[in-house]
Every structure is written in structure tokens, then in C-alpha cells.
Structure 1
Amino acid sequence: MTYLSRVRMNPLRAASRNLLANPRALHAAVLGGLPDPTADERILWRLDNDNPHRPHLLVLTRSRPDWSHLVEQIGWPDADGEHAAVRDYAPLLAQIAVGREFAFRLTANPIQNTQTPDKPTTAQAKLLAERAKAGEKRGRGFRLAHRTAAAQLNWFLSRTGRWGFDVPGVRSDPAAPGIRDLARPDEATETGRPPWDPNPPYEVRITARNRHSVQKNLKGAPVVFHSATFEGRLLVTDTELFKAGLLGGIGPSKAYGCGLLTLAPLPKG
């Protein structure tokens, strides 16, 4: 079984302010909702903060969770309404078929791997010098964040095929003459870098972009990553790949709230 949960958060409570500011602490609180999580269970979560006065926590789990501790710490335990909705995910999975279209939301960590960073950090420069001294022509690549909206959009659009879906073109009039479309990966230039357009003619947009700094321990350097939230319309092209992305997550930094792809019916009309 798989379950999708939605937990209301009261941002005025001290515990909520701590979790909203600390993805690592929020991940620990999510794990606390499962009495006996298995080592191979992939837990996906996302913080939806469209309305900062009424944020919501979404969590996808294989086993049925209990969010009583979160409701007591960060919610409105004595108020009316459904504090923590838990829904069986099977009915949604049964709707997945090639050609089906959905509205979607995804918060992801767009990254690239490179052997030669343009502006290496002190640690990267030291490692590159050590490799050069040892005569190593190639080594493990460096994971670098895409920091601009254009690069993040290109990262997303160039990978939809491997995730089992496509993003259709916008249903509107053609762009005015001289407006350059965002190139697909097979249209890349000789450098391997497509001409990025911050306003691609596809049914997707970035609704939030954030830089996160997570302190793992008192001595080590913080983990820094960049996230982008994508919203739009998608069309399923491969059911197995698509379900794998839904259940296993998309991209890195899943423990820090990235990778959960959620679907909704398309608005009528």
C-alpha cells in the first residue's frame, strides 16, 4: 500500500517555525510518523507554502502513518477540520495510462555533474590540483546546482522523457516573430548547452525558487542546495517510468523535501 498525507501547519507555533526553517528537522519529524519504517522504504515529502499563513506538509509513504505528534506540535489540535488527511494512493495509480493528462506540481533540486567547474570552490580546486598532480585525467564529477530560472527550466524539460511524461506546448497563438523557443536537448549547440529561454512555450512555470543551507552537525560545513517548484500540465508517455517517478521521487535531495511529484485533475474549460 501507498499513502499520500496532507498535514496542516500553524506557522505561529514555535515548533512550526523551527521545522519551516530547517528541512533536516522536518525530515526527522516526518520519520516520526511511521512506527517501524523499513530500510528500503522511500519516504517523499514536500512543504507547500503558497499561503505562508497556512502552509501544508505533503508526505508519501508505503505504510500508513500517524501524524498525531505533528498535529499536537505544529497544528491546531482542538480546532475544527481535518488536521491530517491520509489517502490511499491506489485509486490515483489506477488512473495512470499513456495519453492521460494531469496538472502537476514538483519541487526539485536541479543539478548538473561536471568535471571542470567554471568557478571551483577552495575544496574543489584542491581536489583538481591533486588529480592533476597524480596524472588523473578523469575522476568523479562535481555536483553543481543550476541557479538561474532558465537553467532550472531546461534541466526539467530535458529530462521529462526519462520520467515517463512530456510537457505539452502552450495552447495559445504562436510567439511573435523573433521570439526564440527554448531548444530541446537534440537542438543543443556545439558546446552541448542549449539556448535557454526563461519563458519557454510549454505548459510549465516555476512558481518558487529557494536557496537552502542545512547544518548536518556542529562541526561540518552546511549542506547548501537550490530548489525550484515547477507547476503545469503533463502528458503520460510511459506508465512504468511515470509510476516509478511518482513512487520513488524525482532528482536528488529527497530527504530535504525535493522529488515529490503530485497530480491533480486538469481544470475544465
Structure 2
Amino acid sequence: MTTIWLTRIIPNPRNRQASRDFRNSVELHYRVMKLFPDNLGDQARKQLGILFRAEETPQGPYLLLQSRTQPDLNLLPPDYGKADTRPLSPLLDALRPGLPVRYRIDANAVRKPRKTTQELHGLKPVVALTGPAAVEWWRRQAEQSGLKIDTVHATQLIAASGLKAQDKQRIHNARTRFEGNALISDPALLRRRVEEGIGRGKAYGCGLLSLAPATTA
């Protein structure tokens, strides 16, 4: 099977480029893509399986980056921060039915109303979900990804946003963090969904599903 790589980048808080990137999801996307070959065309992110998630901790932010190709960390700007890469495949190879896991994902939970419903209620083509509706969305996604959810904790996050350089299109993806415990029901399906990501907004920090072994109470 293809090796999946997991990279952690801890930015230097005194580095101006790093500070700018971590304030803007579009800039962070550009920074991530610069760590990989640039001759793959419009579908490069999808071909390379690139997913990322920015995390905030009391010690400061860091970036988790997942990919099918190992990134070239030498392409980070000088003094950008600390970074290391390790294979994720050992964890994925250990997935088995009934294994209890902890999970975390920042997802763009949305629904697409029918055209008649849009017109009747003046809705946008894509509507962001919050509260119980978002949790129900995640439960469906998890079930379709080989996970049997036990617990869910949902946190509304600041939207992933920024301005694309090419066409000046403004990106604004609502984000909800889902985390909790689950049991694996279909390891092969779960592995595929981990590799591909879940939901929309994958280019801008959504869809990366992280798993870790958990013990039952």
C-alpha cells in the first residue's frame, strides 16, 4: 500500500511569514503546496492526497499535514519553525474491526437545499450546519466512513477564510470540530476515507480525520 506521511510544523512566532500564514487559510494552503512538486496541474492537491489542519494549543499553534508524498521541509522559508515527518501507515495498518479509537476532524458540515427550497426560503446553494444538525451530519459521515460513533463533542470554529491570489475569489468555509470516541466497523473503508479526507473545503484546512487508539471504560 501507499505510504501516508504525517508532518507537524510548529511555526516560529517571531517569523513574519509564518504568522501571516497561520492567520489566513488561503496563505496556509499556498505554503503547504510549495512543499511538493509544482508540475502536477490543477488537481495536484488531490493527486498528492494533501490534507491539513491547524491546531491551537496553550503553547501556540501548529500544523498537521497529511500526504501521499513526503514533503520537502527544506522548502520552508529560513527560520520558519520546527518541522518533522513520520509515516502514518503503521497506525493505518493496525486498524481492525471493533478497535476503539479517539477521533478528531475539522469539517465543513453543510447541506445543499433543493432548488425549490432555495427559492422558497431565499437560501444559498450551500447552507452551513450548526448545533444538532451539524452533529447529525457528522454521524452520517462517520457511519459512511467505517466508524461507529460512541461520543461526539462539537465545537464551532472560526471559518477558514482568505483571498485567492489568482482570481481574487474570497474563500469562506464554515468549520466545526468533531471529536470523541468510536469503534471501527470497516477498516478498509476507514483507511480510504482517512486518505481522501471527508467533506468539502479540503484545500483550506477541512476534512483531515485523525485517529488514535483508545481504551474502553
- TM-score, length basis structure 2: 0.85
Tell me, yes or no, if structure 1 residue 258 matches structure 2 residue 194.
no
Deviations for 1:5-57, whole angstroms, at most 9, x for unmatched residues?
Answer: 11111234221221112111111111111235744222111111133x42111
Match of 2:34 among 32, 35, 56: 32
Tell me, yes or no, if structure 1 residue 65 matches structure 2 residue 71.
yes
8 Å contact from structure 2 (residues 9, 62) kept in 1: yes
Secondary structure at the aligned position of 2:144 is classed as helix
Q: Which residue of 2 aligns with 1:245?
A: 193
Q: Which residue of 2 aligns with 1:163?
A: 145
8 Å contact from structure 2 (residues 143, 149) kept in 1: no
Secondary structure at the aligned position of 1:72 is classed as coil
Which runs of no fewer than 5 residues in structure 1 stay unpaired? 76-82, 125-141, 169-202
Distance change in 2, residues 1:120/1:70 (3 Å): farther
Deviations for 1:203-258, whole angstroms, at most 9, x for unmatched residues?
Answer: 12024522233222486552222001111111111122101111000101000010
Q: Which residue of 1 aligns with 2:126?
A: 143
Deviations for 1:89-128, whole angstroms, at most 9, x for unmatched residues?
Answer: 221111111111111110110010112236536xx6xxxx
Distance change in 2, residues 1:16/1:36 (3 Å): closer
Tell me, yes or no, if structure 1 residue 47 matches structure 2 residue 54.
yes
User: What one-letter code is carried by the residue in structure 1 that aligns with 2:136?
Assistant: N
Between Structure 1 and Structure 2, the one with more strand by share is 2
Distance change in 2, residues 1:17/1:103 (3 Å): same
Distance 2:159 2:134 in 1: 13
Match of 1:152 among 112, 117, 134: 134
Which runs of no fewer than 5 residues in structure 2 stay unpaired? none
Distance 1:254 1:213 in 2: 13
Larger radius of gyration between Structure 1 and Structure 2: 1
- TM-score, length basis structure 1: 0.70
Q: Which residue of 2 aligns with 1:235?
A: 183
RMSD between aligned alpha carbons? 2.3
User: What one-letter code is carried by the residue in structure 2 that aligns with 1:66?
Assistant: D
**Aligned-pair CA distance for 1:74:** 2.8
User: What one-letter code is carried by the residue in structure 2 that aligns with 1:87?
Assistant: R
8 Å contact from structure 1 (residues 10, 55) kept in 2: no
Secondary structure at the aligned position of 1:47 is classed as strand
Q: Percent identity?
A: 29
